[in-house]
A and B are shown apart, each in its own frame.
Chain A
């Protein structure tokens, strides 16, 4: 190889020209390879460490958790209403004027634009011959009821349809759960839908948690437990806009939510869960972002509660101890169940009241470490559940004695060691499926009893 001519600079020891470029290229390639090897080693090392700790890396777990975080950052109720529905329901949905959002609603405080927009075509369905043939089940409650009607829709529908007691009728399960909603919202929503022309064959109220947890949370913020979930109501009822400080906090929260949502969507799009390294680090970063949103939300809530102007938009609670407040929450739940039962019984609609299981209800499930870690909840929720669930069970038994069909599903996970909770109150698919297995026969038993009573 001929010798390269040397410049004055090269004589000072700094190579240049093609040889220097090749050298640089080799260095860069080496750096890239070294980085790739380091990442590969780190990936293998992390997986080995996790396996040695008895918790091997599970990409689906990370993926599910990211999905759960995305759901809770949007509105808690996934929007796959069409899943498993009959063909008639698969038409394109009416479009809401804005992107997915919760709006002020005159009868249930607030509702999702998606539900408001699609009401017209849902009511049109009840004017069709097809609706007479189909066994239509409305599932009311909060986000757990919404999640149940979406995630377990297919299996629940199949369990009902396969039961000979329905005589081969096709089944359609309707999502009527709304995030954070609680009595009297379920009763008001059913009344509104009936007035609009809905004709369900069966109604399920899957609730209890929000009534005692969110109810007490409202009380802690100095507003009546009867009013809707405080931040959702006040933000939409106009309280936020009147106060600049509150608006700043709301804007800050919205910005945090927007950033966190964009982040989780990017992670899901890039499928970061495929690698233990990116999955675990991404998830940890996402958990931090979600916590930042929760922190922002708690600060806003505290400020909203302290705003004197909110008194116009939500009355203060009656005076009393935690025990008395929870008693009132339970009384409201019972009143709601009886109102729903009455509205259904007079029309021959089957009604089933279901007390939902929840993580902080002591003894209701053996919890694994991840469930404990993710089950962190604000004090009002845990106190509400600890004080409220024994009362809800007793009140439910009383409801059953008075003739209201009641299923105590609070202990349905009691023997389940597998992780079922994705946070303090929502379940994974396995959890919803277990619930579906308990609900389907209970609903058909209730229907059978109604038919026997009407003869």
Chain B
């Protein structure tokens, strides 16, 4: 067909007619939408449309995976914080170590005699009470040659090996060079390892309660990150649609506004589902593995063997670290009511293993105190410990002099 050129006026009329038709159609759609909404009992409200879009935007910004909104918290000295090398610390301990570093690396470093106490709850109690008597004896002892004894309580509740080694290594790495290190532990190591092992955690991992509470969800978990990304994409889509909904056409047209509102509702649902997925993935993914650590047999005897080995190796490592620096080291195996139970209870059996380990430490030249023996002999723990500390200080001086 050979279509010739149409007259310009005719073409414009045709275009105008089409335009008029589109406008009428849009108007009819708009009116139809308003009528349908009114019949459904949801009469179109332009202000309400804008308000709900703004609300959706605000809500979208408020939604967050569990834990994200946690505030940093007040600087309470007793506040427990996550520590990279021994799982948990307090701001008070952190501050005390800072003071120790300043004193031990400052001009008056030589005038002090630093005593570091390591261990768990019982050791922390000792540092707060019995240790004062020890400090008094040190203060008047000629071996100190006028130096002032300073006690650094590095024991923390629920600590067990290898946390005592980690604390000592960290204190030394900070620049503090103590003259005497005292470690008091044992029964807590056994009880906490048993708790861990029975709950499915590795016995050598920190006390489950202490560690599990402190461990956040790792943000670099690829599965969790993928879920986070999906949620963020959905959330951004909600934000984009909500912004459009607050725009001119969506507010003034029932047709555009109601279409947008349905879209926004769908996207909000998708965003909520994506957010729920983030928390679900966080709950089931690496979180548990981070808390439990490597696999370990669940039988009590296997746990007890591991606990006793960890206790021995931890004490032996601390002794080695101190010996390398000519620092006196005394290890106290604390007494426990379970000691009398012998093989009757798991803790009693574990304590028996620790007692054997204490013997091995002594044979290898580590200065030890048997708390149970001191109790049976009716002697005060502080008194026995003070004697052992002085013997060890003499032994260290003799070794140094020999070199």
A residues at B contact (CB < 8 Å) = 94, 96-99, 101-104, 106-110, 113, 116-120, 183-185, 187-188, 190-192, 194-197, 226-228, 233, 235-238, 240-242, 244, 247-248, 250-251, 254-255, 308-309, 311-313, 315, 318, 328, 331-332, 335-336, 338-339, 341-347, 404
Residues from 225 to 267 in B contacting A, C-beta threshold 8 Å: 225, 228-229, 232
CB atoms of A116 and B216 under 8 A apart: no
- Asked if residues B82 and A184 are in contact (CB atoms below 8 Å), the reply is no
CB nearest to A307 among chain B residues: B72
Given contacts A101-B222, A342-B320, contact A184 B173 (CB under 8 A): yes
Contact among A227, A318, A335 for B84, CB-based, below 8 A: A227
Kindly state the separation between the CA atoms of A95 and B71 in the bound complex, as whole angstroms.
36
| Beta-carbon contact of B285 and A236 below 8 Å | no
How long is the Cα–Cα vector from A120 to B296 in the complex, in angstroms?
7
Q: 7 extra interchain contacts, Cβ-Cβ under 8 A, other than A120-B296, A188-B169?
A: A94-B295, A113-B286, A227-B84, A247-B228, A308-B72, A318-B101, A335-B175
Q: Is A236 in contact with B218, judged by CB distance below 8 angstroms?
A: yes
In angstroms, how far is the closest chain A Cβ from the Cβ of B171?
A: 9
> Which residues from A are CB-within-8-Å of B84?
108-110, 227-228, 233, 237
Q: Which residue of B lies closest to A238 (CB)?
A: B216
Is the pair A347, B64 in contact by a Cβ cutoff of 8 Å? no
Query: Chain B residues with Cβ under 8 A from A250's Cβ?
Result: 219-220
A98 adjacent to B285 (CB under 8 Å): yes
- Find B220's partner among A195, A197, A235, A331 (CB 8 Å cutoff): A235
Interface: B205 (CB within 8 A): yes
Cα separation A228 to B174 with both chains bound (whole Å): 13
Is the pair B317, A194 in contact by a Cβ cutoff of 8 Å?
Answer: yes
Chain B interface residues toward A at CB < 8 A:
64-65, 67-73, 75, 79, 81-82, 84-87, 91, 94, 98, 101-102, 161-163, 165-166, 169-170, 172-175, 204-206, 211, 215-223, 225, 228-229, 232, 285-286, 288-290, 293-296, 306, 309-310, 313-314, 316-317, 319-325, 364
Bound CA–CA A312/B173 (angstroms): 20
A residues less than 8 Å from B216 (CB atoms): 104, 237-238, 241
Task: Note all chain A residues with C-beta closer than 8 A to B217.
Answer: 238, 241
A196–B310 CB distance below 8 A: yes
On whether the beta carbons of A318 and B98 are closer than 8 Å, the reply is yes
CB pair B314–A336 under 8 Å, yes or no, is: no
**Inter-subunit contact B306/A197 (CB<8 Å):** yes
Q: Provide the bound-state CA to CA distance between A299 and B359, in Å.
A: 55
Which chain B residues border A328 with CB–CB below 8 Å? 175
Residue of B165, B228, B229, B310 near A188 (CB, 8 A) is B165
Q: Which B residues touch A106, using CB under 8 A? A: 86-87, 205-206, 211, 293
Q: In the docked arrangement, what's the CA distance between A315 and B173, Å?
A: 15
Question: When the two chains form their complex, are residues A191 and B317 in contact, meaning their CB atoms are under 8 A apart?
Answer: yes
B219 touches A240 (CB 8 A): yes
Q: List 11 A-B contacts (CB under 8 A).
A: A94-B295, A98-B289, A108-B85, A116-B294, A119-B294, A187-B169, A238-B67, A242-B70, A247-B68, A251-B228, A331-B175
| Contact across chains for B67 and A345 when beta carbons are under 8 A apart | no
Beyond A97-B286, A187-B173, A236-B218, whether A346 also contacts B72 by CB under 8 A is no
Give complex CA distance A338, B173 in Å: 10
Q: Are A103 and B218 in contact (CB under 8 A)?
A: yes
Contact call B85/A347, Cβ cutoff below 8 A: no
**5 closest residue pairs by CB, A with B:** A238-B216, A342-B324, A346-B320, A109-B84, A309-B72
Determine which residue in A120, A191, A250 has the highest number of CB atoms from chain B within 10 A of its CB, and name it: A191
B364 to A244, Cβ gap below 8 A? no
Q: Which residues of A contact B295 (CB under 8 A)?
A: 94, 120
CB distance from B188 to the nearest CB of A (A): 15
CB distance from A285 to the nearest CB of B (A): 24
Smallest Cβ distance from B193 to chain A, in angstroms? 11
Q: Quick check: A312 and B219 within 8 Å, CB to CB? A: no
Q: Is the CB of A194 within 8 A of B313?
A: yes
Closest to B321 in A: A342
The residue that B173 contacts in the complex, of A108, A226, A242, with Cβ under 8 A, is: A226
| Residues of the A chain whose Cβ atoms lie less than 8 Å from the Cβ of B173 | 183-184, 187, 226, 332, 335-336, 339
A312's contact among B81, B101, B170, B289, by CB below 8 Å, is which?
A: B81
Which chain A residues lie closer than 8 Å to B98 at the CB level? 315, 318
Chain A residues whose CB sits within 8 angstroms of the CB of B324 once the complex forms: 338-339, 341-342, 345, 404
Do A255 and B82 contact each other (CB < 8 Å), given the known contacts A98-B221, A98-B223, A315-B98? no
Closest to A123 in B: B294
- On whether the beta carbons of A241 and B68 are closer than 8 Å, the reply is yes
